[in-house]
């Protein structure tokens, strides 16, 4: 089968996206235990109005409660083992906020109608840095196990909202320059925008809205210069 240059390029982009997704899964594979040691805000139950310290042992989650008047004095310790009897059931949820830094790649961009060009769904290579506000929510719950017993189940959800900036490629031809050029080539664009990110156990996924700035002399003719688009991205944590 013979591919035209543009079709061959799109195939390369698609394959590169698949490789990136698999690479993200390798770098961010979820361990058996998922809670990061540190200070958190308790969400449920209302054990204290102050910060708590949470650490994860091999088979249990340990929560340290501090005295409200003296934050260096521990007033209670709650241990949540891997297995409990039904009469000792307790569910706990806690969260924390942090700065988030990620490396993202937008696999697909949706571009609205522009002049005579219909709406587009483009697959283009890109690499951007994402920085923003992150909120992580952890839950320690128990589900039925052996008769009369319950086993521990941990869950984690992370959300981020922030800005991104980086570089990508775009296919430039006579149709996207209103007939102002005769050639076809891959242009380099500077990408900026805002994104919402969801952290999953194996890969971070994001939806973003951005603007592209073509960096060569044909930017004056490019119909998508500084025009908004919506995109889907995958990425990995850098912090």
Predicted TM-score (pTM) above 0.95: no
Q: Which residue has the higher pLDDT, 141 or 58?
A: 141
Predicted pLDDT of residue 4: 45
Mean pLDDT of the chain: 83
In whole angstroms, give the CA distance from residue 192 to residue 65.
43
Beta carbons within 10 angstroms of residue 63's beta carbon = 20
Q: What are the distances in angstroms from CA 99 to CA 39, 81, 131, 198, 233? A: 15, 31, 7, 14, 19
Beta carbons within 10 angstroms of residue 146's beta carbon = 8
Question: Are 74 and 66 a contacting pair, CB within 8 Å?
Answer: yes
Q: List the one residue out of 183, 191, 214, 217 whose CA is nearest residue 5.
A: 183
Residue with tokens 């209103």: 178
Q: Please list the residues that pair with 129 across neighbouring strands.
A: 103, 165
Q: Encode pLDDT of 96-131 as tens digits.
A: 999 999 999 999 999 999 888 889 898 888 999 999
Task: Give the three-state DSSP class for 42.
Answer: strand
Q: Encode pLDDT of 163-195 as tens digits.
A: 999 999 999 999 999 889 999 999 999 999 999
Predicted pLDDT of residue 25: 37
């Amino acid at each position: 089968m013979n591919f035209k240059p543009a079709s061959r390029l799109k195939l390369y982009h698609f394959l590169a996206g698949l490789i990136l997704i698999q690479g993200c899964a390798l770098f961010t594979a979820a361990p058996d235990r998922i809670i990061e040691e540190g200070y958190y805000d308790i969400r449920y139950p209302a054990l204290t109005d102050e910060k708590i310290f949470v650490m994860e042992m091999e088979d249990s989650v340990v929560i340290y409660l501090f005295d409200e008047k003296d934050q260096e004095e521990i007033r209670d310790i709650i241990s949540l083992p891997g297995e409990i009897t039904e009469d000792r059931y307790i569910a706990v949820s806690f969260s924390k906020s942090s700065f988030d830094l990620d490396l993202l790649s937008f696999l697909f961009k949706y571009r609205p109608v522009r002049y005579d060009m219909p709406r587009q769904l483009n697959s283009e290579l890109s690499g951007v840095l994402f920085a923003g506000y992150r909120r992580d929510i952890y839950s320690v719950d128990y589900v039925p196990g052996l008769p009369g017993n319950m086993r521990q189940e941990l869950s984690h959800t992370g959300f981020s909202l922030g800005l991104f900036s980086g570089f990508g490629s775009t296919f430039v031809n006579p149709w996207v320059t209103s007939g102002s050029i005769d050639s076809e080539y891959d242009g380099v664009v500077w990408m900026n925008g805002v994104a919402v990110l969801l952290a999953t156990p194996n890969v971070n996924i994001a939806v973003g809205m951005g603007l592209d700035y073509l960096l060569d002399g044909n930017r004056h003719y490019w119909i998508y210069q500084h025009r908004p688009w919506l995109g889907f991205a995958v990425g990995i944590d850098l912090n």
